[in-house]
Amino acid sequence: MLFHTLLFYVFATVLIGAALGVVFARNPVHSIMFLVLTFFQAAVLWLMAEAEFLAIVLVLVYVGAVMVLFLFVVMMLNVEVEAVKRGLVRYAPLAIVISLIMAVELVQLIWVRGAVTGASYGFAPNPEGYDNTKALGAVLYTEHVYAFEIAAVVLLLAIVAAITLTMRKRPGLKVQDIGKQVSVRAKDRVRIVKMKSESKS
């Protein structure tokens, strides 16, 4: 148990360090790599709480897809570092207030409510043969099926909206029509002109 606690603090320290790195790194690409590290550490903490489905999905979705696109955009845009630094100072009070509110809420949730319900520290280990994924699926598709389906439809709507935004037709846009390219015949492109050879004069 001591080993477990020690591991928790090591990973939590790395997580907080990485999260600070996201804010204070000079280079935006470094910031993103710190954010990736933060997600990884959060996933490890979830694994330690035996929530392996959530942990691996966090890595799969955020590290594998979302952060790759972030990296893509940041590399393409060449963010101006000085402007970002000025913004850091300007927004610092607001950020501190928000993080304080979140910290107070967490303390309220964990300590105060924990004291009321008499919950102990740590998690009771799951019984042998317990499948995290199955348990989650059983709850999602029965008890919370409406919320789940609404979330799915909202996401679908976002996808459709994003695609329609890119579908606008500009006049004079040159696009390849693959059907036309395939059906093209030699006689449409090349005109063979037969002429008699000229005599030397």
Partner 1 sequence: MIDLMPQFIVNIWDSLPPLVQYLTVVTWKILFVTICVILAVAFSTYFERKVIGSMQSRVGPNRVGPLGLGQPFADVIKLLIKEIVIPTESNKFLFVIAPLLSLIPALATWAVMPLHPGFTIANINAGLLYVLALTSVGVYGVILAGWATNSKYAFLGAMRSAAQIVAYEIAMGFALVGVLMAGGSLNLGVIVEAQSGGFSNWFLLPLFPLFIVYWISGVAETNRAPFDVAEGESEIVAGFHVEYSGVAFALFFLAEYANMVLISGLTALFFLGGWASPLAGWTFLLDTPLAFIAAPSFFWLFLKISFFMYSFFWFRATFPRYRYDQIMRLGWKVFIPVTIVWIAVEAVMAWLRVGPWAGLGA
- The contact set with partner 1 (CB under 8 A) reads 27, 29-30, 33, 36, 52-53, 56-57, 59-60, 63-65, 68-69, 71-72, 75-76, 131-133, 176
For residue 44, what are the contacts with CB-CB under 8 A and spacing of at least 6?
11, 55
Residue 199 beta carbon to partner 1: minimum distance, rounded to whole angstroms:
46
Nearer to partner 1, 19 or 25 (CB): 25
What is the rounded (10 degree) CA torsion for 34, 38, 44, 50?
Answer: -160
Query: How far apart, in whole angstroms, are the C-alpha atoms of residue 176 and residue 124?
Result: 61
Residue 131 beta carbon to partner 1: minimum distance, rounded to whole angstroms:
6
Residue 68 beta carbon to partner 1: minimum distance, rounded to whole angstroms:
6
Nearer to partner 1, 89 or 167 (CB): 167
Nearer to partner 1, 8 or 53 (CB): 53
Distance set, CA 143 to CA 9, 126, 135, 136, 155 (Å): 35, 21, 12, 11, 20
Q: Helices in 49-143 by DSSP H: which ranges?
A: 52-58, 67-77, 81-107, 113-117, 132-140
Nearer to partner 1, 93 or 179 (CB): 179
Is residue 96 within 8 Å of residue 76, measured between CB atoms?
Answer: no
Residue 22 beta carbon to partner 1: minimum distance, rounded to whole angstroms:
16
